[in-house]
Amino acid sequence: MTSQRNAFPHRRYNPLRGDWVLVSPHRTQRPWQGETGKTEAAAPVHYDPKCYLCPGNERVGGHRNPDYTSVFAFNNDYAALLPDAPAPEASASPLLRAEQDRGICKVLCFHPDHSLTLARMTVAEIETVVEAWTAQYVELSAQPFVQHVQIFENRGAMMGASNPHPHCQIWATEHVPDEPAAERVNLKLWREGHSRGMLADYVALEVEQQERIVCQNDGFVAVVPYWAVWPFETLVLAREPLRELPQFSAAQRRALADILSQLTIRYDNLFQTSFPYTMGFHQGPGPEEHFHAHFYPPLLRSATVKKFMVGFEMLGMPQRDILPEDAAARLREVPSTHYLGSRS
Ligand SMILES: [Zn+2]
Ligand SMILES: [Zn+2]
């Protein structure tokens, strides 16, 4: 139960990032006269001759996709990073600092069917995707200059996804990017101070309190974290202190596929729409690591009203209206089967 004290503005600490979020639950009462956006219609076709990710189609530069029948990975034709990018010119001023940043960008199609999303795929189909993530992670981590492999999915036009075909991106970089680097600092400090893992402690606390759990299985727990910034943000945590995908047993890969299925079905059911989000995994080989996934969905109160990170949030700090405990309760209350029924 949400205590009355939580109904007043307060701020909450994010121990992973080491920063704060302003929580203003009373603001959900205010009238909305801003943008209402458009509902995203589900992609109706199983094959789109114009889609550069569908099997058999041509991509830029004369590449042609094979007639793949499950997953398919290839080097991004518009890569943001290059494996042979040279070092930039040195600058005389410390104010104008640049560094070499080599990398590899790949695209992984989850399924040949253009109309699907994780929420509409079977657990067995998602399991195949988990196996492909693992193989890509192993292959890219083995490159001599690679320090970090970031797997992420941008889902839906509201998140700027350029193509509805079910796919993710995998960027392997020469430097650890800012988000995982910031988390690593705090995870290390916690381990030094407590002789235990921060996220292992956090899983135990959430399982004990039950207040912010959305769904769970033998291997994973999905929660709206205490310090969530986005209205329906979730954190998917391994129950065991697993560091990275290559450590997973077959049962743990299946459990990850299952929790991703459970969570994305609940997301779609919340506003009866193909729920947009950015999601991705944080993992690594270090003793401080604890495998987890972040889901950052933009929707606030309906299929069309999204949260904007503007004003005080750009100049001050992030702020949220709906309490994380209430967001978790709403995601728990929706049905566990997809509102469109089962696929035939
Ligand atoms: Zn397609
Ligand atoms: Zn993280």
Place of tokens 């995707």: 129
Give the model confidence (pLDDT) of 69-82 as tens digits: 999 999 999 899 99
Output 212 or 78, whichever has higher pLDDT: 212
Residues with CB under 5 A from ligand 1 (ion): 48, 51, 53-54, 114, 165
> Is the model's pLDDT at 252 over the cut of 90?
yes
Q: Does residue 204 sit in helix, strand or coil? A: helix
Confidence (pLDDT) at 39: 58
- Ligand 2 centroid distance, CA of 17 (Å): 8
Q: Which ligand is nearest to the CA of 288?
A: 2
- Ligand 1 centroid distance, CA of 58 (Å): 11
Domain hosting 271: range is 41-88+95-333
Q: The domain that contains 222 carries what CATH number?
A: 3.30.428.10
Give the model confidence (pLDDT) of 2-18 as tens digits: 567 678 999 999 999 99
Confidence of residue 42 (pLDDT cuts 50, 70, 90): low
Q: Which amino acid is present at 45?
A: V
Residue 269 belongs to some domain of the structure: yes
- Residue 3: φ, ψ to 5°: -75, 150
Residue 148 belongs to some domain of the structure: yes
Confidence of residue 239 (pLDDT cuts 50, 70, 90): very high
- Ligand 2 centroid distance, CA of 280 (Å): 8
Q: Which ligand is nearest to the CA of 47?
A: 1
Q: Which ligand is nearest to the CA of 178?
A: 2
- Ligand 1 centroid distance, CA of 68 (Å): 12
Q: Does residue 171 sit in helix, strand or coil? A: strand
> Is the model's pLDDT at 99 over the cut of 90?
yes
Place of tokens 């701020």: 11
Q: Which ligand is nearest to the CA of 16?
A: 2
Residue 24 belongs to some domain of the structure: no
Residue 19 belongs to some domain of the structure: no
Residue 238 belongs to some domain of the structure: yes
Q: How many domains does the chain divide into?
A: 1
pTM here?
A: 0.94
Q: How far is CA 236 from CA 54, 249, 257, 282, 339, in A?
A: 29, 17, 12, 10, 22
Torsion of CA 225, 327, 179, 107, to 10 degrees: 120
List residues with catalytic annotation: 167
- Ligand 2 centroid distance, CA of 93 (Å): 34
Please state, for a pLDDT cut of 90, what percent of the chain lies above it: 83
Confidence (pLDDT) at 33: 59
Confidence (pLDDT) at 41: 59
- Ligand 2 centroid distance, CA of 290 (Å): 9
**DSSP letters spanning 116-169:** --GGGS-HHHHHHHHHHHHHHHHHHHTSTT--EEEEEEEESGGGT-S--SSEEE
Residue 7 belongs to some domain of the structure: no
Confidence of residue 1 (pLDDT cuts 50, 70, 90): very low
- Tell me the pLDDT of the chain averaged across its residues: 93
> Is the model's pLDDT at 292 over the cut of 90?
yes
Give the model confidence (pLDDT) of 174-208 as tens digits: 999 999 999 999 999 999 999 999 999 999 999 99
Output 261 or 2, whichever has higher pLDDT: 261
Residue 288 belongs to some domain of the structure: yes
Q: Which ligand is nearest to the CA of 52?
A: 1
How far apart are alpha carbons 151 and 134 in whole angstroms? 10
> Is the model's pLDDT at 343 over the cut of 50?
yes
Q: Does residue 16 sit in helix, strand or coil? A: coil
Residue 319 belongs to some domain of the structure: yes
- Ligand 2 centroid distance, CA of 95 (Å): 30
How far apart are alpha carbons 179 and 16 in whole angstroms? 9
- Ligand 1 centroid distance, CA of 114 (Å): 4
